[in-house]
Amino acid sequence: MQPPEAGVVLVRHGELGVKSEQVRRKMEGRLAENLRAMLDSRGLSADIERRRNRLFVHTDDADAAADAAADTFGVVSASPAVTVEPTLDAIETALAAAAESHHDGGSFAVDATRAGPSDAHPFASTDIESEGGAAVWAAIESLGHEPEVDLDDPEFRLFVECRREAAYVFLEKRAGPGGLPLGTQRPVVALISGGIDSPVAAWKLMARGCPVVPVYVDLGDYGGPDHRARARATVETLAGYAPGEAMALHVVDAGAVVADLETGMGDLRMLALRRYMLATAEAVAESEGAVGVVTGEAIGQKSSQTSANLAVTDPATSLPVHRPLVATDKSEITQLARHIGTFEDATVDTGCNRVAPELPETNADIETVRAAEPDDLFERARACAAERSVVPIER
């Protein structure tokens, strides 16, 4: 929702403000670059103005530009706004116009802030709220509605941000993903199965600034082209959040390894497979300059992810394994997947077979798994990783 003639988007970021001056400047610069790339990727022409703790996006499509900002990591919120003179008269006029075009019943409130020295304006923020509120009241009456003020929980909220040089009137703070600008951290490898969890986990690391190197482990007879296509589709959606980054899907052929584990390892095969995947991820990380691995595991979600079994899989790599969903319920992960846009692709039926045995081990110990797994498991992981195919991701 935007006021008439909105020509600017106020873009707020959160955690950057608490960094040292030098780090903050660098991160703000990166945020502006990433936002530029996001706007370009959506064909939006706009000028980005950097100010302390804020970006101002000047554009003739404020609604679409606010959406682009709300999909950019590091952005806390974005407001399509109309710019007016920093006078009470001009603010009242803009508030009344916004109410006339958007109020459709229900209570309202005017929420004003004033930035700058105390003598920057001959009025206080409370004056904006009371005078502006009166203008909105009159506008609502002129629509034939019954005006009602509710300062705590209004159905219709109008915001004013008054600065020395201009005032901005807006109707919403569209939530962004928060976090840090993508590219402000070293990359990590993302183990992507194409299921619901792993793309969400990768997205969460991206939201902390880490570019991801997606790795899909092709399970041969237990995977198949539809399974791989599903993984790729989720990565394409993730790439939409990283328009400034080249992204490719690294596909590791594990068909032969899976077949061997299936015949040779009984109830422990899932654990050996997980260990193999982490070793593969580590090999890819080495060649791609990545410094960690992210997976979609959550404690107890599957037999291979019990707290005991995670203790068995973790030592397969010396890299840190990031599990941002470790304590998240499936329903919440699903909700996030819908929000991110990976849910639809992740839930297409691929008709693939189950690698997991009927009664998998849920309380394994590392010595038993080590003794049972093939001696050359990690060697094979490195060899498969070296022969991986790299599929560029179009967007």
Q: Is 296 annotated as a binding residue?
A: yes
Which residue is listed with tokens 């849910």?
343
Q: Given the complex with ligand ATP, which of 77 and 295 has the nearer CB atom?
A: 295
Q: Given the complex with Mg ion, which of 233 and 248 has the nearer CB atom?
A: 233
Q: Nearest residue by C-beta to ligand ATP?
A: 195
Number of residues that bind ligand ATP (CB under 6 A): 16
Alpha-carbon span 64 to 45, nearest angstrom: 10
The piece of 102-110, 129-137, 150-158, 196-204 that touches Mg ion (CB under 5 A) is 196-204
Instruction: Determine the residue type at 68.
Output: A
Using CB under 6 A as the binding rule, whether residue 28 contacts ligand ATP is answered as no
Q: Given the complex with Mg ion, which of 72 and 305 has the nearer CB atom?
A: 305
Alpha-carbon span 29 to 33, nearest angstrom: 6
Contact flags string 290-329 toward ligand ATP, x per CB under 6 A: -----xxx----x---------------------------
CA atoms within 13 A on the CB side of 58: 6
Q: Is 336 annotated as a binding residue?
A: no
Q: At what angle do helices 197-206 and 330-340 cross, to 10 degrees?
A: 70
Q: Nearest residue by C-beta to Mg ion?
A: 197
Instruction: Determine phi and psi for 171, rounding to 5 degrees.
Output: -115, -5
Please enumerate in sequence order all residues whose Cβ is within 8 A of that of 377, keeping only pairs 6 or more positions apart, or say none.
Answer: 257, 272, 275, 276, 279
Instruction: Determine the residue type at 278.
Output: L
Alpha-carbon span 376 to 205, nearest angstrom: 31
Partner from ligand ATP, Mg ion, none binding residue 139, C-beta < 5-8 Å depending on class: none
Q: Is 338 annotated as a binding residue?
A: no
For Mg ion, the binding residue among 197, 218, 262, 345 (CB under 5 A) is 197
Q: Given the complex with ligand ATP, which of 68 and 261 has the nearer CB atom?
A: 261
The piece of 190-198, 207-215, 265-273, 326-334 that touches Mg ion (CB under 5 A) is 190-198
Number of residues that bind Mg ion (CB under 5 A): 1
Length of the chain: 395
Q: Is 157 annotated as a binding residue?
A: no
Q: 50 by DSSP, 3-state: which?
A: strand
Alpha-carbon span 289 to 305, nearest angstrom: 27
Instruction: Report, in Å, the least distance between residue 302 CB and Mg ion.
Output: 6
Binders in 159-218 for ligand ATP, by CB under 6 A: 191-193, 195-198, 215-217
| H, E, C per residue of 300-338 | CCCHHHCHHHHHHHHHHCCCCEECCCCCCCHHHHHHHHH
Instruction: Determine phi and psi for 215, rounding to 5 degrees.
Output: -120, 125
Residues at the contact surface with ligand ATP, assessed by CB under 6 A: 191-193, 195-198, 215-217, 219, 277, 295-297, 302
Q: Which residues are documented as binding site?
A: 191-192, 274, 296, 305
Residues at the contact surface with Mg ion, assessed by CB under 5 A: 197
Q: Which residues are documented as binding site for ATP?
A: 191-192, 274, 296, 305
